[in-house]
Structure 1
Amino acid sequence: MSEQLPIVYVVSDSVGETAEFVVRAAASQFDGGKVEVRRISYVDDPEPIREVIQAAKEANGFIAFTLVQPHLREFIIQEAGNRNVYLVDIMGPMLEAFQNVLQMEPKRRPGLLHQLDDQYFRRVEAIEFAVKYDDGKDPRGLLRADLVLLGVSRTSKTPLSMYLAHKRLKCANVPLVPEVEPPEELFQISPKKIIGLTISPTELNLIRQERLKSLGLKAQANYANLDRILQELEYAEKLMRRIGCPVINVSNKAVEETASIVLDILKRGGTRQS
């Protein structure tokens, strides 16, 4: 019959998730992973370390730590040794390995991994936002968006929204059609958060013809009719002027190029026309 696992104290100068994950992964190899983990996060001075070492000694437990500040690492190693408390340095050996291989000093800033995680989750959230509020699906999303893109069909609103989502911007986009009233929410947000997309009639005509062919439809349909395109572009231009938002001409521009202009406009406070 296996003995009960001891209490493991996780000490970190950041959140401590990395150390706890390693502890639980190791514990899973023993008696189904039943272990009590007590996490002590954001340690930035020696006093909490003294208290944890005392608690671990009294509970006959041990300590796992991820401390990147040298003075804290040295303190916990020395104190645990003096009190005869078992200690596991989770981050130290890996830091030393990278330091030896790369021949450079680590930044020794707590929480960098957690910062990267935050960036990742913000990116995922922005992508989910772009999908949810694509093509005017739910006008309520306009009020929560970092940026709203306007334009007639086939002006790259969706791919641009997705590209900017990877830059952690929550983008919604609204298709402009003369027969459909724009959502009221569009006039409730700052014009600086709105960017209009326009395109040359001839280029849009070619793009729409190719789109119809890919769908197995006749290229002569009204969707690709030049007079219809001119009507749509005129309507979109009037609406964008009414709103007072910046406008980008996406003719012959790759999505990456348009995105760069968008980011520049946002940086300058929504004043540039292109």
Structure 2
Amino acid sequence: MAEPLHLHLISDSTGETLDMLAKAALAQFEGAAIESHLWPLVRSRQGLERIMADVADKPGIVLFTLASPDIRTALEERCRLLGLKAVSPLDPVLSSLGDTLGRQAKARPGRQHTMDEAYFDRVDAIHYTIAHDDGLLSEEWEEADIVLAGVSRSSKTPTSIYLANRGYKTANIPLVMESPPPDSLFRLKNPLVVGLTTAPKRLIEIRRNRLLTLNERERTSYIDEERVSEELKYARRLFADNGWPVIDVTRRSIEETAAAVIRILQQRRDDSRQGELIAPGPA
């Protein structure tokens, strides 16, 4: 078996940003044998020296985010001597921003993880979203930014959690033909209500896999093709009757679905602000 390509991710912070960048890039090389190594909190020459032995032992490509010019120079020199490529993926972005803003970036490790107001807003959104999963506490939905509605296994919960991590308070409700949603869902003013739908065959596949994980092997209406189609038709009628935007999640990842929801919410907020700007004043 061929030796995998080693990808070393060296960061002076948690390495979360670098890890996400690497995963996004690696997704374009499906099937490639790549082994990633994350080296976080590298903030001294001594710390760098400790990991370079492992880097030398498993040579490959080095991606780094290092605020200290001294440590960065040391890393680049070591990589040059080892014949390794060393890439700082944020450099082009920082350079372009600096040129446009006419100022230099502040060299502070982990600056994006500072516990500012946005951080606590995100924590609050996560707590809210977990407490309002699967139709819970419907009397508090007016406090939400977003409410997701859809039949069982239409990716409501994972999408809600992803949105919460982006700072959006998100509730979700499963739509069941025999049990209509609470009236409060149809009276909401503040939250954006979004309907999630999917293709029947894809939904049946997901539900079947769910049953297998629960060791349920008997055929039930939960995966009956005619029943599933009726469920989806019921949900789509509900979405249409209430004028809610609809997102088909059949071929979308959770991240793509969340991005689509955020776009709709942003457009709604932009339209609302525009309406306020052009509203006539008092006579």
State how far apart, in whole Å, the 2-side matches of 1:248 and 1:187 are. Answer: 19
What amino acid is aligned across from residue 203 of structure 1 in structure 2?
A: R
Q: How many angstroms does 1:117 deviate by?
A: 2.2
Q: How many angstroms does 1:173 deviate by?
A: 0.3
Q: Is residue 2:169 matched to residue 1:209?
A: no
Q: Is residue 2:154 matched to residue 1:155?
A: yes
| TM-score, normalised by the number of residues in structure 2 | 0.55
CA RMSD of aligned residues (A): 2.8
State how far apart, in whole Å, the 2-side matches of 1:181 and 1:261 are. Answer: 26
The alignment-based identity, stated in percent, is 40
Q: Is residue 2:265 matched to residue 1:266?
A: yes
Q: Assess, with a 3 A threshold, how the Cα gap between structure 1 residues 212 and 118 changes in structure 2: closer, same or farther.
A: same
Q: Tell me, which stretches of 5 or more residues in structure 1 are unaligned?
A: 1-96
Q: Which residue of structure 1 aligns with residue 173 of structure 2?
A: 174
Kindly indicate whether the alpha-carbon contact (under 8 Å) linking 1:192 and 1:246 is maintained by their aligned counterparts in 2.
no
Q: How many angstroms does 1:101 deviate by?
A: 7.4
Q: Which residue of structure 1 aligns with residue 30 of structure 2?
A: none
Q: Is residue 2:215 matched to residue 1:240?
A: no
Kindly indicate whether the alpha-carbon contact (under 8 Å) linking 2:142 and 2:189 is maintained by their aligned counterparts in 1.
no
Whichever of the two has the greater Rg, that structure is 1
Task: Spell out the pairing of 1:1-274 with structure 2 (5 A cutoff).
Answer: 116-190=115-189, 193-218=192-217, 220-269=219-268
> Tell me, what secondary structure is at the counterpart of 1:155?
coil
Q: How many angstroms does 1:221 deviate by?
A: 1.4
Q: Deviations over 1:40-90 (max 9, x none)?
A: xxxxxxxxxxxxxxxxxxxxxxxxxxxxxxxxxxxxxxxxxxxxxxxxxxx
What amino acid is aligned across from residue 261 of structure 2 in structure 1?
A: V
Kindly indicate whether the alpha-carbon contact (under 8 Å) linking 1:148 and 1:171 is maintained by their aligned counterparts in 2.
yes
Q: Which residue of structure 2 aligns with residue 91 of structure 1?
A: none
Runs of 4+ in 1 over 3 A off after TM superposition: 97-108, 112-116
> Tell me, what secondary structure is at the counterpart of 1:268?
helix
Kindly indicate whether the alpha-carbon contact (under 8 Å) linking 1:198 and 1:247 is maintained by their aligned counterparts in 2.
yes
| TM-score, normalised by the number of residues in structure 1 | 0.57
What is the count of residue pairs matched by the alignment?
172
> Tell me, what secondary structure is at the counterpart of 1:251?
coil
State how far apart, in whole Å, the 1-side matches of 2:241 and 2:205 are. Answer: 28
State how far apart, in whole Å, the 1-side matches of 2:112 and 2:247 are. Answer: 37
Q: Tell me, which stretches of 5 or more residues in structure 2 are unaligned?
A: 1-66, 74-102, 271-283
